[in-house]
Amino acid sequence: MEMPHICRYCGGIVRLVPAESVYGDSAVRLGLKGEKLYQCQNCNARVGCHRGTVRPLGDLANEVLRLKRIETHQVFDAYWTERGMSRTQAYRWLAKKMHLPERKAHIGGFEMHQCQRVIDLCRTANKAKENDMQETKLFTIIRTSARADRGDFPPPSAEGSYHDVELAQKAMQALVRTEKAQMDIPFSEDEYREESGPLFWEAYQDGYAAGWFTRYEIVESICKDVPAEVNT
């Protein structure tokens, strides 16, 4: 993995910093005392290093991706501990299922789609073991927007899905912060309006909401997991 120098999100400068500068006293509790990580000096995207080295675990991750990795670790760790696996056995299983070399089978280096794949693998294996069909909730962040001033009316886009509504809310808040930091308002600030709730955020032009707006909304859906034969 190439050492990052420029942030893939904002183009900012990336520096190698001590873990303590990011996590403070929590670095000891997290087992990161003396370790290094790469951090964007502009948007705070970051990635850890392999222990005792300055080799990055993967690509830089913004807050949304970091939250997805946290959720993935929660699901994966529960999966292998409940089965009495060792950590080595668990990551060997993960590498096989993800069709990756063992050295690359690290959640800390996974992208959003890879994280979701791990979650799906673990949940499918659980349902196969139980030999039952069960419903699970999925919380997806949907972005919609319109910019009539420049003829831009993009279709709705999914910005990430989570099995935990609180993680989805945190991810939406991170997306909103980024949106506001990059927002270009082509009208008077007196016309700018915002509305928000636990499951949505919207900015729009007063009196012309259909022509200029951005909205993030958490949409709940029910997924029925169909059991399948899984080699655990």
Q: What is the pLDDT of residues 20-53, one digit of tens each?
A: 999 898 888 888 999 999 999 999 999 988 889 9
Same domain, 120 and 162: no
Domain-embedded: residue 231 = no
What pLDDT, on the 0 to 100 scale, is given for residue 20? 94
Same domain, 122 and 142: no
What pLDDT, on the 0 to 100 scale, is given for residue 29? 87
Spatial distance between the Cα atoms of 51 and 68, rounded to a whole number of angstroms: 22
pTM above 0.75, yes or no: no
Same domain, 142 and 187: yes
Same domain, 209 and 128: no
As a whole number, mean pLDDT of residues 93-107 equals 91
What pLDDT, on the 0 to 100 scale, is given for residue 129? 58
Domain boundary among 12, 43, 60: 60
User: What's the domain count of the chain?
Assistant: 3
Domain-embedded: residue 13 = yes
What pLDDT, on the 0 to 100 scale, is given for residue 36? 94
Same domain, 125 and 171: no
What pLDDT, on the 0 to 100 scale, is given for residue 50? 87
Domain that holds residue 42: 1-60
Same domain, 8 and 32: yes
